[in-house]
Structures are given as structure tokens and as C-alpha cells.
Amino acid sequence: MSTSMSAPTATPALREAPGSVPRAGVRRWRRGVGHLGRVAIGLVLLVAGVLKGLDPAEFAHQVAGYGLLEPRLSSVIAPALIVFEITLAVALLAGAWPRLSVLLSLVLLFGFIGIEAYGLSVGRTEACGCFGAYVQRTPAEVIGEDLLFAGLALLALWGLAGWAGVRARRAATALAATVVLSIVFVVASPSLPIDAYVTRLSVGKSLKDLDLKDRVPVLAAGRHLVVLLDVSDPGAAGTAAVFNAMAARPGAPGIVGLTPSTEQEIDTFLWSAVPAFEIHRVDRDVIKRLYRKLPRCFLIDGGRVTAVYDGAPPGAEELLSSEAS
């Protein structure tokens, strides 16, 4: 009895349509786009967190300015948000739990958008502080930028589908170290000697550079010692007494005080401290670019900064000898 053996039928190979991209190529392209979005949004959050961390007290003031949190709670939430933002940025850049990291970045961005929309609805026009006190943008500009960043995050979410990222143990170690370093940075940053690099105020700058030319025209001619101070601070009266004594010295430069305080606070200060020098109110968005901590002083001669003094007021002898030279 014979059996007939039939040869196996060959299955014809699938052929890609002309001009089509192989599936492996599509996956690689999609994954590359996802990584691009992940790195981009990670860099944005890292820069934003570091810039906020340069002046956490001012960021807390900006958070309180929305009226959603009381000042005491804002002073806790603001530094915590800086640490969270930096840690999330490192998670994105390192590829730690990518899907969760991208989703958290979306929640953060849409939270910022919602807060800015609320600010616009109540007539708020001040800068939000999303990139720190020294980068000024309107709420409308912030909303537009955050929508763009959210688009990058969505691109990352789409492109990185199925990618697990780095190993969990390595990711946890990196993020734990980031949290510790971020806390140290936020706590130590107000004491770091970096004001000359992160503020507009430095030797050689003109009144126009400082945005004071039209706001305080008295400084345009002659030699003046400009004092930046918060008149609502309990120590402001003692600072005024020091400068009152300095103003009485023959040959001392004219003293001018600049403050971001309200007119009511200035009036109270004039009655209580009786300063022997003029005090001008300057919008907080403008004057905040000149300092991180108060008081801060600078000597201006012929409309240009010739010296900057951080912390304690300069000695009268130093100013007099400077004029003599």
C-alpha cells in the first residue's frame, strides 16, 4: 500500500507596499520621538525648578499672591514644589518609570495652567514665577508655553508606550539622591554668593539696564547711594538709623531708598522710623530683579553702578574715601 506524500506548500513572503516603511522602522522612529519629548520636558522642568530654587522665599510670596493658600502654608508648599519639580525632571531625564513620570508632568503642567487661568479670571497680571523671580512673563504667555510643554509630554507618552525605562533599583537610588540634593539646594541657596550672576544688579550697569531710568529720575545725575529695603521688615528701622547717620556726614552721597512695599506701609515707616532720605516705591516685578535678600545697596554715579554692597550697609568712611579717589 503506497501513500502519497504531498510536498509542503510554501507560504509566499509578505511584501511591503512600494514606499511603505517597515514596521521595525516605524517602531524605532516612534520610540525616538518619545525619547525626544521625554528629554525636552525633563530639561524644561529642571531649568524651572533650579530657577525657582535660587529664591524660594520669593516663589513662596508669588504662590501666596494667588490667594489660594495662606502665606504660612505657601512657605511650606513652595519649597516642596521646587523639590518635586527637580526630582520629576531627573526622573524624566534618567528614564525612571517613564510612563508614571510623564503622567505626573502632565498633571503638574495642567495644574499650572489652571492656576494661571484662575489668576487671569481675577485680573492678576503679575508674573507667575514658573521660571523663578528673574524671568518675567505674563499669565497668558505662561498658559501658551505650558500647553506647548504638555504637547511634548503627550508626545513622550505616545512614543514610549511599552518602554519600561531603567531598572527600578537604579531609578530609586537616583531619585532618592535627587530629593536629598534638592532639599539641600533649596535650603542653602539664599546664602550662596551668586547675586551678581542671577540678578540684574552689578557694577557697570546703567539705570536703563536696571529699568530705573524713568521710574526714579533723581538718580540720573550726581552720586547716590541707593538702598533696597522692605519697610515692613522689623529690622528696617535700624537700617534707616544707620543711613540717617551716614547722610549727616559731610561729603556723603545722597541716599535714596527703593522698596517694593505698599504706599500704606511706606507711610507707616515714615512716621515710625523717620528716615532722613527719600523712599520711592518700585513695582515688585522690577525691583525683585535687583536682589535676593534685603537690605542691598549700590552706589551709582552719573547714572551707572560703581559698587554693590550685600547685607550690612557700607561704612561711611568707605563711601567718603571712594568719593575722594
- Per-residue pLDDT at 14: 43
- Per-residue pLDDT at 38: 95
CA gap 81, 107 in Å, rounded: 13
CB count in 10 Å sphere of residue 29: 12
- Per-residue pLDDT at 133: 73
| Helix-helix angle 168-188:23-53, to 10 degrees | 20
Residue in 92, 93, 150, 89 with CA at minimum distance from that of residue 116: 150
Weakly modelled stretches of the chain, pLDDT under 50 = 1-4, 11, 13-17, 20, 321-325
Partners of residue 259 on adjacent β-strands:
281
* Protein fold of 198-324: Glutaredoxin (3.40.30)
Q: Where are the beta strands (DSSP E) in the chain?
A: 223-228, 254-259, 278-281, 296-301, 304-310
pLDDT tens-digit series, residues 245-264 = 888 888 888 999 999 999 99
Helix (H, G, I), strand (E, B) or coil at 200: coil
Residue type, 109: L
CA gap 180, 164 in Å, rounded: 25
Domain boundaries, given as residue ranges, for the chain: 26-190, 198-324
Residue in 107, 321, 301 with CA at minimum distance from that of residue 223: 301
- Per-residue pLDDT at 323: 46
Alpha carbon 266 to its chain's center? 28
